[in-house]
Chains A and B, each alone.
Chain A
Amino acid sequence: MESLDEQNDSVSIEVKDSNHPDIWSVEGIARGLRTHLGIGKPKAPMLSGKSGLRVTVDRRLGPIRPFIATSIVRNVRPNENALKSWISLQEKMDLTYGRKRKRASIGFYQADLVKPPLRYTVGNPDDTAFVPLGSTEKMTLREIVEKHPKGIEYGGTISSFKDWPLLADGDGKILSLPPIINSNDLGKIGSDTKNILVEVTGTNIETVGNTLKIVVAALAERGGKIYSCTQTYTDKSAKAVATPDLKSSFKDLSVSYANRLLGSTFKPAEMIRAFMRAGHPARQVSKDVLRVESLCYRIDIMHQVDLVEDLAIALNINKLDPEWPRIWTLGGLAPETDRHETLAEVMIGLGYQELLTYVLTSPDVFVDKMGIAGENYPELLNPKMSTHTAMRSWLLPSVLNLLKDNTHVDYPQRVFEIGPCVIVKENGEGHTETRYKIAGVTIHTGAGFTEIRSCLDTLLGSIGIRFEVVPTTHPSFLEGRTGEVMSGQKRLGVVGELHPRAIRAWGLSLPVAAFELEIPPMGVE
């Protein structure tokens, strides 16, 4: 429970389970609380009979939105709070479980105004028109998708098709344009609605069926009686499907397995009592086996472990005695980290301050300002900020990017960073490779090649790397004062004095000398 508002006689409850839509309503939470507090036993929702309503399903919906499930709940007479709860359940389910209405979406109608049989069919977007909910004017389907707020929000689910889904009744009156909007005439329920037609359409038959179960079960919690409807498919399957399917599912659970997973020694009877509180009627079928019932709306139960968790919650996990695992293992840092630590130790000994900068940056930083070209780097498909659109391929620019903000801070500034960069590979696993690099930078009036080269020699010398520095050219560095750091045939990096163009590009005004190296793997000498 999050908070209690005594003035308005209401409580706020945090629901963490994003796989548990049966408790996304006041009705569902009340049902859960009742059994948890032992006020009542879990009771499966029952079918009161057949409604007699048939729905024919047009085969042309196949690629668009092929499935529908309907039910009529009679004798509901909702009050304000009930309506509010159902609408919020509908919205939450459409959004999350229904994947923003793509996989499933819910519609409520006044059952008494609908003339059977229903036809779930397709309509031409420009030739078909009706008055959408919340409007007074007739609009074509295309106008609804282009202009109506719900059309703008959810139109993407159907707009790429030539024909769009349509639900109509026996008189040809349009009930809705699934999954966008209901008709203003038939698709508006209020406190005077006695009998409600619930309809779910979607692209996944299981999701569609589950959604219907959860909604009608919530309506039934307020005293509604559930009646089934029949869907007749006109595609190859030609199947007739009665909905909702309110059958419970049963799983056999081993008592010893549950106790092993919990680290407990509960007896079968204790477990049965706890399962009752968790809303699962259960009975013992053999010495070690319980048959556990999951009521039709418990769509989150995929595996025995889900039952064990319900058991643990019903028993209160805070009552379990925490126990540190009695296994003996050898702790240790990754070899890479050990290597980084050694390098950091030497750099710090040389008077360099360690830095931490973002891997995510922009080509402006590590390409443009450095004056290089032709760099191959990982680029984001969906950047959120113009300053974070790519992953850096080298480290030195990130360090200079930090120094540019510190021109007012005492010089000399000597800094280094050991950090990941990401390289695009031409082929191979993952097509990228994360490589750690080290960059060292010195900036002050007297900064120059000798100073940084001494630092580099000390660093590589300390870890026993043999290397030579051979003259090279690099767009970011001064010609004649730049060297390539070679260990045998392998290029480790670059060392030199930064080019005045690069210094100015960063808004700096003092000489800069720097090196950047791939971190040599251990054992290379």
Chain B
Amino acid sequence: MRENDVKVLKTLRDAGGTAPVEEVAKKTGLADAAVARASLTLSQQGLVKEQTTRTTEIFCTDEGYDYLANGLPERRVAAVVHNAGGKLSVSKAVQEAGLPLDFVSIVTGWIARKGWGRIEKTSSGAILLVSKNPSRDDDEELLERIGQVSIPMEELPSTLKQAADRLLKRNILASKEQVQRKLQITLQGLDAIPTQAPINEVSGLTSEMILSGDWERVRLRAYNVSSPVPSLNPGKYHPYLRFLRMVKRKLVALGFREAVGPLVEPTFINDDCLYMPQDHPAREIHDLYYLKHPSKASLEPWRDIVERVALTHENGWKTGSTGWGYKYSREEASKLVLRSHGTALSVRSMISKDLQIPGKYFAIARCFRPELLDRTHLTEFNQAEGIVLDPTLSLRNLLGVLEMFAREVAGADKVRFKPDYFPFTEPSVELQAYKEGYGWMEFGGSGIFRPEVTEPLGIKVPVIAWGLGIDRLYMMNQQIQDIRQLFTTDLEWIRQQKVG
């Protein structure tokens, strides 16, 4: 450490920890520039902190000095009138107070505003009435307090601040900005001061001391362990992603395998494979983001499936269904959209060559819908979604899956089921979960995929499909009212979220 740095640190220590830069310069005997250099080095090492305070200094103008000695004009005039029996012509009073006549309006104005007296218009001119000698007011008190020096406006009580504003406007006072820089020594700064202390008191252990056994012959200087230390910002998971990881862990523990898939899909995958007719209202531009560039996908990779899905839509194909009874368009099927629901990922799982039966699959899917952002809507959100496949599955198993989710994932106390409707499942069931303190809430939708969905994909067993409202569950757990908080840009909030 350089000598100047040590001088600065010692001066700060002796001054009780904090001192203005000028004082440091005076006490160390160093030039201002040398103090500035030292404080820069020391603050980079975290040994001192610089504090800058800005103050507004107020002081008397020449006019102010005059009034300080002789009294404010309104005071002088009021005194003259009072001494003359409480009633006097205005112009005479001003003259007798030793003021020029152009002070008439100023003086009468202030006397009236301060409530010291009143003006009466008579035929012989204006008369000033002052019934009793006014007591000293804030303006006068401030003027006296300032006297020959300047004082910082910030330190004044509020009544005197108002007085200062008045006197500044009257040019009785003037002000200038003062910047004061102070240096404050930190805890590390205190430790860093080389001690001239006797050999047996040291500030820190060294490797040499430990190895040589010298630690037995020294005394370690005690720290103030109660004083505050600098705070740290650790690296952490994003709070919402931490929650999604927890959901994934629980689903994996229940035997589900995670599926991933693309964010952009042809409507063939997003809708057609789910037996949603091509003119279904949920496929309009209000409910689905379409791509302008690129706008179409080749359906070649799924040629056989497209054939079967088309026939199923048109006449039911071999599924035993009547179908929707319209002419299926491959053109429409090839249009690219942003994945609008997690169920599209379940389709991906079902057409995957790695599909296993029995099987349980889940995905946390980023989905997109054309919504304006508000407290309850995001245009980009997450859905937890999945399927269970096995020849033995029944509606009771669907209820069993839902009940397990409600208890394991949402921590619900009670569950109940309501009939629901989705174009791609039959039967369809809504899950309602009850949690103490929250009441009943909708927690997910589910069903058994229609044969019109599974059979064209080559699946001959019942498939349970489920979706959970995890965004809402997270908001409930964290007491978040505004869904936009999930994608917040507030780094401070993200840093402050508890991890447990």
A residues neighboring B (CB under 8 Å)? 16-20, 96, 99, 102-103, 204, 206, 260-264, 302-306, 308-309, 312-313, 317-318, 320-334, 336-337, 344, 347-360, 378-385, 388, 391, 401-403, 405-406, 409-410, 413-415, 420, 422, 424, 428-434
Contacts and interface: CB of A to CB of B under 8 A. Distances in A.
Nearest to B402: A322
B281 A410 contact: no
Contacts of B320: 303-304
Contacts of A308: 426-427
A312 B418 CA distance: 11
Given A325-B393, A356-B240, 15 more contacts: A20-B421, A204-B326, A304-B320, A312-B395, A321-B396, A324-B404, A354-B237, A360-B380, A378-B294, A379-B291, A405-B490, A430-B262, A432-B262, A432-B264, A434-B263
Contact of B293 (A260, A359, A378, A415): A378
Interface in B45-100: none
A325 B400 contact: yes
B394 A263 contact: yes
Contacts of A324: 397, 400-401, 403-404
Contacts of A378: 264, 291, 293-294, 336
A325 B390 contact: yes
Interface in B226-272: 233-238, 240-241, 248, 251-266
B59 to A, nearest CB: 35
A391 B294 contact: no
Contacts of B489: 357, 401-402, 405-406
Contacts of B248: 333, 337
15 contacts: A305-B426, A306-B426, A323-B400, A324-B400, A325-B401, A326-B392, A330-B255, A334-B259, A352-B235, A357-B489, A382-B290, A384-B379, A385-B372, A420-B263, A432-B291
B426 A303 contact: yes
Interface residues of B, number: 103
A305 B393 CA distance: 14
A213 B255 CA distance: 48
A389 to B, nearest CB: 9
B266, B368, B402, most chain A CB atoms within 10 A? B368
Contacts of A359: 263, 366, 368, 380
Given A309-B419, A312-B427, A391-B264, A303 B450 contact: yes
A63 B485 CA distance: 51
Nearest to B335: A381
B491 A434 contact: no
Interface in B294-332: 294-298, 300-301, 316, 319-323, 325-326
B41 to A, nearest CB: 14
Contacts of B263: 359, 391, 420, 422, 434
A108 B421 CA distance: 30
A263 B301 CA distance: 37
Given A16-B421, A333-B248, A409-B491, A302 B358 contact: no
Given A328-B358, A348-B237, A382-B289, A303 B394 contact: no
Contacts of A304: 320
Contacts of A409: 491-492, 495
Main secondary structure on B side of the interface with A: mixed
Nearest to A405: B489
A381 B285 contact: yes
B379 A329 contact: no
Interface string B367-384: 010111100000110000
A431 B297 contact: yes
Contacts of A261: 394-395, 448, 462
Contacts of B395: 261-263, 312, 317, 320
Given A322-B403, A351-B235, A382 B370 contact: yes
A303 B141 CA distance: 95
Contact of A331 (B253, B316, B393, B452): B253
A349 B235 contact: yes
A41 to B, nearest CB: 22
Interface in B345-377: 356, 358-360, 366, 368, 370-373
Contacts of A337: 248, 258, 260
B321 to A, nearest CB: 4
B380 A358 contact: yes
B321 A302 contact: yes
Given A356-B238, A380-B290, A409-B491, A420 B396 contact: no
A144 B34 CA distance: 87
Interface string B481-500: 00000110111101100000
Given A305-B450, A355-B238, A406 B492 contact: yes
Contacts of A313: 419, 427
A428 B300 CA distance: 9
B235 A424 contact: no
A381 B256 contact: no
A335 B235 CA distance: 24
A17 B366 contact: no
Contact of B316 (A302, A334, A429): A302
A353 B235 contact: yes
A323 B464 CA distance: 13
A241 B489 CA distance: 64
Contacts of B255: 328-331
A224 to B, nearest CB: 28
Contact of B379 (A96, A260, A312, A360): A360
A303 B402 CA distance: 25
A309 B323 contact: no
B292 interface: yes
A92 B308 CA distance: 32
A443 B403 CA distance: 47
Contacts of B290: 380-382
| In the complex, the 4 A-B pairs of residues with the closest C-beta atoms, listed nearest first | A263-B394, A263-B396, A322-B399, A309-B427
A354 B235 contact: yes
B417 A303 contact: no
A379 B290 CA distance: 9
A20 B426 CA distance: 13
Contacts of A336: 260
Contacts of B401: 324-325
A331 B252 contact: yes
B24 interface: no
A387 to B, nearest CB: 9
A410 B253 CA distance: 39
B396 A264 contact: yes
Contacts of B397: 263, 323-325
Contact of B233 (A18, A263, A333, A410): A410
Nearest to B326: A204
Contacts of A382: 285, 289-290, 370
B117 interface: no
B342 interface: no
B39 to A, nearest CB: 16
Contact of A309 (B241, B360, B380, B426): B426
Given A322-B402, A329-B359, A384-B372, A204 B325 contact: yes
B216 interface: no
A424 B297 CA distance: 11
B388 interface: yes
Contacts of B491: 353, 402-403, 405-406, 409, 413, 415
Given A303-B319, A309-B428, A322-B396, A434 B294 contact: no
A379 B451 contact: no
A424 B379 contact: no
Contact of B292 (A18, A323, A380, A388): A380
A397 B19 CA distance: 44
Nearest to A326: B392
A117 B292 CA distance: 50
B420 interface: yes
Nearest to B251: A331
Contacts of A17: 421
A44 to B, nearest CB: 19
B472 interface: no
